[in-house]
Structure 1
């Protein structure tokens, strides 16, 4: 997903079209390098805004989604770790309950414009290494 045609001049990297991330629906995963390791990030939409986080629980560094792209719990109000049941506020990534109480998901910079959603690398979250990606 880090092909040159997907990177803007300012370094932002295309995740998907804005319409692919529906309010309270399935999130869109994307490949990153987090703190030097292969990982995934994800984008969800809540209250009309898109939010992106590193796909790692604040309690134990495992992916949150219980099925690929499924991050919201049944009420659609919180993001939830499928393994330990920690719940997170979508707008801030703060843990509202569970084993990571007062923890926080690692945010990833996000830009939504011209009908597309882009993520922005930083000091710790970088583009994946060149080559094929596992989830396309």
Structure 2
């Protein structure tokens, strides 16, 4: 496993605002991922709906629905709790987004790769 990866400055993530996308490797293939801020904390997930593995954001980085309280899949309307990734409404109720280990320190946000989600080679 490789070391941590810098994603963005902490100030780039507003509560319930635009997220930052990045790429992880799952089983040797690149997969979109994202980090957002909710209630002051950062949370990272694979950018794949638990219903059908399609990207959630309706425009790049737009993961929250209009209230800023839930993450929402633009394709089928599945709604997720931003702090746990649990689907709380829609076609995948009870399933969860794949959570990634992220950390905020010294004004920056980092992804800490863990199996089965690794940093892409290169």
Structure number with greater Rg is 1
- Once residues 72 and 61 of structure 2 are traced to their aligned partners in structure 1, the CA distance between those partners, rounded to angstroms, is 12
C-alpha distance in 2, partners of 1:21/1:88?
18
Cα drift, residue 51 of structure 1: 0.5
The aligned residue for residue 110 of structure 1 is 102
Unaligned runs of 5+ in 1: 1-9, 131-136
Q: Say which SS state the counterpart of residue 70 (structure 1) adopts.
A: coil
Q: Name the structure 2 match of 1:18.
A: 10
**1:39 is the counterpart of 2:31:** yes
Aligned equivalents of 1:41 and 1:93: distance in 2? 13
Alignment of 1:118-129 (within 5 A): 118-129=110-121
Residue segments in structure 2 that go unaligned for 5+ positions in a row: none
The alignment partner of 2:44 has SS state of strand
Task: Kindly indicate whether structure 1 or structure 2 has the higher relative contact order, using CA contacts under 8 Å at least 6 residues apart.
Answer: 2
CA–CA separation in structure 1 for the residues paired with 2:83 and 2:23: 21
**SS of aligned partner of 2:30:** strand
Query: Shift of residue 35 of structure 1?
Result: 3.1
Structure 1 residue 17 displacement after superposition? 0.6
**Normalized against structure 1, the TM-score is what?**
0.86
Number of residue-to-residue matches in the alignment = 121
Give the TM-score of the pair, scaled to structure 2. Answer: 0.95
* Residue 76 of structure 1, CA deviation: 1.0
Supply the distance in 2 between the matched residues of 1:21 and 1:96 (Cα, whole angstroms).
Answer: 23
1:129: Cα distance to partner? 2.5
Q: CA deviation at 1:120?
A: 0.9
Q: After the TM superposition, which segments of 4 or more aligned residues of structure 1 sit over 3 Å from their partners?
A: none
Alignment RMSD: 1.0
